[in-house]
Amino acid sequence: MKLGVFVSDFNLTVDTLDRLTAEKLGIILVQNGVYHATTKVNGKASSLLDKTQNLYVLSDDVQIRGLKAEDVDKRVKVVNYSDIVDLMFNDYDKTAWL
Amino acid sequence: MGKLAIACYPGLVGNMSFDFAMKLADAAADKGHQVSIWFSGNATGSVKAHQKHLKDYSTGEKHLQALLAKGVEICTCEACTVARGIQKPEGIEGIQWNAMHWYLAKVHAADRALLIGGE
Amino acid sequence: MGDVKVAMIVQKPQYKGETSRLAITHAISYQTVEILLEDGDTVTPKLCFIGEGVLGLQKGQNAMELYGITSTESHMKNTLLVDLDVLVCKEDLDKYGIPEDAMPNADEMGADKTIQVVPFAEIQKAMEESNHVMFF
* pLDDT one-digit tens code per residue, B67-80: 999 999 999 999 99
For residue B11, the domain's CATH number is 3.40.1260.10
* Per-residue pLDDT at B108 exceeds 80: yes
- The domain tally of chain B equals 1
Between CA B45 and CA B83 the distance in angstroms is 10
Q: What are phi and psi of B13, to 5 degrees?
A: -110, 125
Ordered by where they begin, the domains of chain C are 3-135 (3.40.1260.10)
CB contact, 8 Å: A20 with chain C? yes
Q: What range defines the domain where residue B46 resides? A: 3-116
* Strands of A77-79's sheet in order across: A77-79, A54-58, A24-29, A2-7, A94-97
Residue contact A89–B112, C-beta within 8 A: yes
Which chain B residues contact residue A85 at CB under 8 A?
4, 24, 27-28, 31, 33
Q: Taking the model in full, what pTM does it have?
A: 0.94
Between CA A77 and CA A82 the distance in angstroms is 14
Mutate to test the interface with B, among A85, A95, A98 (most CBs of B within 10 A): A85
**Of 3.90.1420.10, 3.40.1260.10, 3.60.20.40, 3.10.580.10, which CATH number belongs to A2-10+20-97?**
3.40.1260.10
| Interval C23-48: pLDDT, tens | 999 999 999 999 999 999 999 999 99
Between CA C127 and CA A94 the distance in angstroms is 9
Q: Which residues pair with B6 in a beta bridge?
A: B37, B114
Q: Enter the ipTM.
A: 0.94
Q: Which residues pair with B91 in a beta bridge?
A: B48
Cα separations in angstroms, A36 against A56, B15, C46: 11, 19, 31
> What average pLDDT score do residues C52-64 get?
93
